[in-house]
């Protein structure tokens, strides 16, 4: 077996055992996988191929890859992972992870390394994506790297501008918006703080609360006014634009406020239904609680990337967390070192 493609040579095999199964093939999962196959671990990455940042054509801030297409970054990562003989990448949507309390030794003779005897195993089931096979596999370690789900403000045309004129990651995309008339659209309590960050690149910023009572307190509005940032509380009907991109925000009363770009504050959630049986500890916002090595509250289960606190971050942060957790997972599999 070698680093295989979308369905690999294991397509129809049920009950395959790996050292580590990683759920999610974004930067967090790929980086975890790369570092584990370099430790000669037999690793399966299961990925549903729905990257959250696919809306954008350019991603920023990844050292040596600033400005690269996010899809190209994923393809490069997959290629590097799949270049190792104990790597396997399979397109599949994981629908359950359950503890199986097995102490059976690794079943596959091709496994390159022993796993800790007596460890509880996990059974991972996945449904095939784009024609790939359903899979049932087991492993003593599972790494959750499945990223966030996000809900954009409910405006009819917002998708047409998301990732091009409108963004969500201020650290990633504000530089390119320098000097423009910008919008910040959202309904959450952190809007004022976000506005101050965006005002680093423009002196023409309007915060649109879409009539939400939770966004921007009167005290915050006064503080924002002191920085030259306007607050528009009237309900929004839609965003509009032309071939050049966004041209304005249309209010329900018919007023159009000209804007050439800006930021939205999506609502983020951590999709963990498939891992219900693990009863993982999560924080108040649903992120998976981990220690500084990525270990969750369940021995043998690790989590990396955007699903861990504080939530939505950056590609290089997710990849860095993956590398750190891979080292911890490798030690976990060795058991007591002396």
How does 187-198 read in b/e, with b if 16+ C-beta sit within 10 Å?
beeebbebbeeb
The answer to whether the beta carbons of residues 263 and 183 sit under 8 Å apart is yes
Interface pick for ligand FAD out of 20, 21, 23, 124 (rule CB under 6 A): 23
Interface pick for ligand FAD out of 260, 302, 306, 329 (rule CB under 6 A): 306
**In the range 185-244, which residues lie near ligand FAD by CB under 6 A?**
none
Interface pick for ligand FAD out of 160, 169, 189, 196 (rule CB under 6 A): 169
Minimum CB separation of residue 67 from ligand FAD in Å reads: 9
Q: Is 275 in the site for ligand FAD (CB under 6 A)?
A: no
Q: Dihedral angle at the C-alpha atoms of 174, 177, 178, 184, nearest 10 degrees?
A: -70
**In the range 88-117, which residues lie near ligand FAD by CB under 6 A?**
93-94
Minimum CB separation of residue 70 from ligand FAD in Å reads: 6
Nearest to 311 by CA among 261, 248, 267, 246: 267
Q: Is 6 in the site for ligand FAD (CB under 6 A)?
A: no
Q: Which stretch binds ligand FAD (CB under 6 A): 76-84, 163-171, 178-186, 201-209?
A: 163-171
From residue 303, alpha-carbon distances to 20, 105, 298 in Å are: 12, 24, 10
The answer to whether the beta carbons of residues 25 and 50 sit under 8 Å apart is no
Q: Is 256 in the site for ligand FAD (CB under 6 A)?
A: no
Q: Is 24 in the site for ligand FAD (CB under 6 A)?
A: yes
Minimum CB separation of residue 265 from ligand FAD in Å reads: 12
Interface pick for ligand FAD out of 4, 49, 96, 188 (rule CB under 6 A): 49
The answer to whether the beta carbons of residues 178 and 256 sit under 8 Å apart is no
- By beta-carbon proximity to ligand FAD, the closer residue of 29 and 261 is 29
Q: First CA to last CA across the chain, in angstroms?
A: 32
How does 154-167 read in b/e, with b if 16+ C-beta sit within 10 Å?
ebeebeebbbbbbb
Report which DSSP code applies to 166: E
Interface pick for ligand FAD out of 315, 326, 329, 333 (rule CB under 6 A): 315
- By beta-carbon proximity to ligand FAD, the closer residue of 99 and 128 is 128
Non-local (6+) Cβ contacts of 276 within 8 A are none
The DSSP bridge partners found for residue 207 are 184, 231
Q: Is 50 in the site for ligand FAD (CB under 6 A)?
A: yes
**Residues near ligand FAD (CB under 6 A), total:** 40
Tell me the Cα Rg of the chain: 22
Non-local (6+) Cβ contacts of 5 within 8 A are 82, 89
- By beta-carbon proximity to ligand FAD, the closer residue of 39 and 172 is 172
Q: Is 27 in the site for ligand FAD (CB under 6 A)?
A: yes
- Give the binding site for ligand FAD (CB under 6 A): 23-29, 46-53, 55-56, 59-62, 93-94, 145-147, 163, 168-169, 172-173, 274, 305-306, 312-316, 318
């Amino acid at each position: 077996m070698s680093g295989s493609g979308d369905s690999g040579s294991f397509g129809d095999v049920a009950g395959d055992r790996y050292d580590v199964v990683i759920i999610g093939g974004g930067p967090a999962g790929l980086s975890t996988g790369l570092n584990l196959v370099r430790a000669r671990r037999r690793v399966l990455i299961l990925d549903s191929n729905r990257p959250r940042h696919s809306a954008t054509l350019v991603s920023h801030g990844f050292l040596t890859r600033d400005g690269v297409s996010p899809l190209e970054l994923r393809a490069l990562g997959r290629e590097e992972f799949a270049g190792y003989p104990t790597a396997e990448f399979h397109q599949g949507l994981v629908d359950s992870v359950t503890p199986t309390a097995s102490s059976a030794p690794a079943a596959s003779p091709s496994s390159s390394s022993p796993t800790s005897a007596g460890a509880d195993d996990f059974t991972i089931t996945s449904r095939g994506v784009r024609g790939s096979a359903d899979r049932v596999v087991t492993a003593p370690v599972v790494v959750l790297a499945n990223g966030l789900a996000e809900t954009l403000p409910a405006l009819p045309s917002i998708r047409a501008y998301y990732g091009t004129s409108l963004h969500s990651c201020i650290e990633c995309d504000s530089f390119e918006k320098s000097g423009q008339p910008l919008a910040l659209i959202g309904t959450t309590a952190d809007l004022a703080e976000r506005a101050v960050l965006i005002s680093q690149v423009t002196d023409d910023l309007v915060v649109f609360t879409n009539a939400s009572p939770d966004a921007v307190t009167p005290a915050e509005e006064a503080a924002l006014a002191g920085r030259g940032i306007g607050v528009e509380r009237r309900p929004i009907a839609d965003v509009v634009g032309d071939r050049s991109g966004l041209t304005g925000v249309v209010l329900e009363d018919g007023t159009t406020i000209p804007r050439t770009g800006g930021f939205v504050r999506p609502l983020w959630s951590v999709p963990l239904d498939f891992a219900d049986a693990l009863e993982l500890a999560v924080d108040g916002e649903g992120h998976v609680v981990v220690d500084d090595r990525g270990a969750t509250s369940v021995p043998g289960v690790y989590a990396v990337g955007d699903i861990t606190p504080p939530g939505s971050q950056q590609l290089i942060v997710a990849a860095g967390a993956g590398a750190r957790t891979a080292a911890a997972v490798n030690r976990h599999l060795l058991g007591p070192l002396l």
